[in-house]
């Protein structure tokens, strides 16, 4: 019994150290994580380590809907994520928009039913409008039609687009968009191709 | 049987657990019919050329609640706890894509490609969505249970595999079912 009291005290101190998180919330979260770990099994490439949350995932599970992420928390997360972006060493942000279009169309990859050796898609159309010709697009993210045309075909905008696809959380904490580079969903070359889809004047996105 | 599905998940004193329909069927198969838990859970979902008793039971039992209002109590302490844990799981973001249930089902009027997405945190959408499962999926030629629906959502979230009738699956079902209270249960339905 004495030991239990000591453990409880330890938890209370941890909870108090985490601004705005009550002890009840902390306990519910810990229990939810514990039952999740007992309720999932590894399957193919999807191992149980996928349930281990990083700082971004932890914070963004707590802030949603009516409790948006506080400005100071957001700024901290964005700063840390920004510092970890790896831009192409040769400073080349654009690849081939045709490759980018293929990546935008396919959502295959990283599900336990997918072949881990096959190339992964970006599935951009699941959430964004891109070209005018693809009518089957989602609305979870904003329309990206005329992305480059509206913003200017500048090297700065290419770099911004590369960074945003690489790690959306660096620009907008708790965005719904995956961190395609930081989480190794897409390769450097694939991101360059997606940037070309957004930024090449010849891309259907800018027609 | 009439209306049984509209009050699930709920706490059962004999098992001392909150159970949804599928986990309750497993409990009965074990306690009353003498199956081992492994046998009872062996074929949770049908597939091409394979029909399973679990799908058939779910389709039959849920059909006995058609037209009735969802009425999940969530008053027993274990039911309340399941609801709170289900809520936490709903908002849990993880995996390589940072996805959670909330990514697709936390805002109004969203689409993935051309598929409309219900906002499961809002009453009207939660009632419509929860009340439409189980469903016959035309694209798959199968009746799909709510346990299957959750299992496949997590696959698409790039999570590991959600185990059939696991505590997390029941807690999440509790969260979604209670959010659908007072909505008319209108399943088994038909979906694309």
Q: How far apart are the C-alpha atoms of B151 and B164, rounded to whole Å?
A: 8
DSSP element (H, E) containing A41? strand A40-41
Establish if B108 touches chain A: CB-CB under 8 angstroms: no
| pLDDT at position A3 over 90 | no
pLDDT for residue A20: 64
For residue A41, give the nearest of B104, B106, B160 by CB distance: B160
Report the pLDDT value the prediction gives residue A7, as an integer from 0 to 100: 41
**C-beta atoms of B110 and A139 within 8 A:** yes
Question: B36 in helix, strand or coil?
Answer: coil
Averaged pLDDT, A188-199: 98
Interchain proximity A140–B89, CB inside 8 Å:
no
**Cβ of A20: how many Cβ atoms within 10 Å?**
10
* pLDDT reported for residue A19: 52
Segments of chain B scoring below 70 in pLDDT: none
Residue B191: beta bridge partners?
A: B137
The size of chain A, in residues, is: 207
Give me chain B's average pLDDT, please. Answer: 97
123-182 of A, contacting B, C-beta below 8 A: 125-127, 135-140, 169, 176, 178-179
Spatial separation of the C-alpha atoms in residues A140 and B160, rounded to whole Å: 24
A chain contacts of residue B151, beta-carbon cutoff 8 Å: none
Domains of chain B (ranges; CATH) run 4-191 (1.10.760.10)
Residues of A in contact with B107 (CB under 8 A): 140
pLDDT of A8 higher than 70: no
The contacts of residue A82 (CB under 8 Å, 6+ apart) are: A163, A167, A170, A171
User: Would residue B153 show up in a list of annotated catalytic residues for this protein?
Assistant: yes
B121 in contact with A, Cβ within 8 Å: yes
Pairing, β B189-191 against β B135-137? parallel
CA distance B23 to chain A (A): 13
Active-site annotation holder among B28, B101, B104, B153? B153
Q: List b or e across B39-66, with b for residues whose CB sees 16 or more CB atoms inside 10 angstroms.
A: ebbeebbbeeeeebebbebbbebbeebb
Can you tell me the distance from the alpha carbon of A28 to that of B86, in angstroms, rounded to the nearest whole number? 10
For A69-79, the pLDDT digits (tens) are 999 999 999 99
* B116 near A CB under 8 A: no
State whether residue A21 sits within 8 Å of chain B by CB: no
Instruction: Kindly report the number of other CB atoms within 10 A of residue A75's CB atom.
Output: 12
CA distances to A193, A196, B55, B82, B144 from A97, in Å: 5, 5, 46, 48, 39
Cα A146 to Cα A167: distance, rounded to the nearest angstrom? 21
Mean pLDDT is highest, among A11-25, A65-79, A98-112, for A98-112
Stretch 39-78 of chain A: residues touching chain B, C-beta under 8 Å: 39-43, 46-48, 50-53, 56-57, 60-62, 64-65
Average pLDDT over residues A106-127: 97
- Report the residue from B107, B113, B160 with minimal CB separation from A46: B160
Q: Does domain A97-206 bear CATH number 1.10.10.1100?
A: no
pLDDT of residue B72: 98
- Cβ-in-10-Å burial (0-12, 13-18, 19+) of A151 comes to middle
**CA–CA separation, A113 vs A175, rounded Å?**
26
ipTM: 0.96
| Ranges A66-70, A75-79, A127-131: which has the least confidence | A66-70
DSSP letter string, B105-164? HSSSSEEETTEEE--TTSHHHHHHHHTT-SEEETTTTEEE-HHHHHHHHHHHTT--EEPT
Q: How confident is the model at residue A65 (pLDDT cuts 50, 70, 90)?
A: confident
Half-sphere exposure of B74 (CA within 13 A, CB side): 23
Identify the pLDDT of residue B125.
98
CA dist A179 and A65 (Å) reads 21
Contact B159 A47 (CB under 8 A): no
The answer to whether residue A151 scores a pLDDT higher than 50 is: yes
Residues of chain A with CATH 1.10.760.10: 97-206
């Amino acid at each position: 019994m004495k030991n239990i009291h000591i453990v409880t005290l330890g938890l209370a101190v941890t909870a108090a150290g985490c601004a705005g998180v009550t002890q009840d919330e902390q306990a519910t979260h810990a229990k939810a994580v514990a039952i999740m770990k007992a309720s999932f099994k590894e399957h193919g490439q999807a191992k149980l380590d996928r349930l281990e949350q990083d700082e971004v995932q932890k914070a963004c599970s707590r802030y949603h809907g009516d409790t948006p992420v506080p400005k100071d928390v957001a700024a901290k997360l964005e700063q840390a994520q920004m510092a970890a972006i790896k831009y192409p060493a040769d400073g080349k942000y654009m690849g081939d928009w045709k490759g980018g279009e293929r990546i935008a169309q396919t959502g295959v990859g990283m599900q336990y039913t997918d072949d881990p050796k096959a190339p992964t898609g970006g599935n951009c159309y699941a959430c964004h409008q891109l070209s005018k010709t693809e009518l089957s697009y989602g609305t979870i993210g904003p329309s990206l039609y005329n992305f480059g045309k509206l913003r200017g075909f500048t090297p700065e905008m290419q770099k911004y687009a590369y960074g945003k696809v690489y790690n959306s959380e660096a620009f907008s904490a708790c965005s719904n968009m995956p961190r395609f580079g930081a989480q190794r969903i897409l390769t450097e070359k694939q991101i360059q191709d997606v940037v070309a889809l957004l930024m090449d004047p010849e891309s259907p996105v800018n027609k | 049987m009439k209306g049984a599905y509209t009050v699930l998940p709920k706490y059962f004193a004999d098992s001392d657990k909150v159970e949804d329909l599928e986990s309750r069927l497993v409990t009965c198969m074990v306690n009353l019919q003498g199956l081992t838990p492994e046998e009872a859970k062996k074929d949770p979902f049908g597939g091409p050329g394979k029909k399973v008793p679990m799908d058939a039971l779910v389709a039959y039992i849920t059909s006995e609640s058609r037209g009735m209002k969802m009425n999940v109590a969530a008053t027993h302490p274990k039911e309340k706890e399941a609801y709170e844990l289900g809520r936490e799981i709903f908002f849990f973001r993880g995996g390589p894509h940072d996805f959670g249930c909330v990514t697709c089902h936390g805002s109004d009027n969203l689409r993935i490609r051309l598929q409309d997405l219900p906002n499961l945190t809002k009453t009207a959408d939660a009632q419509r969505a929860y009340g439409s499962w189980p469903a016959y999926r035309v694209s798959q030629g199968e009746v799909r249970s709510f346990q299957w629906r959750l299992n496949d959502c997590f696959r698409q979230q790039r999570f590991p595999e959600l185990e059939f009738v696991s505590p997390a699956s029941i807690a999440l079902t509790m969260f979604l079912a209670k959010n659908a209270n007072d909505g008319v249960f209108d399943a088994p339905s038909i979906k694309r």
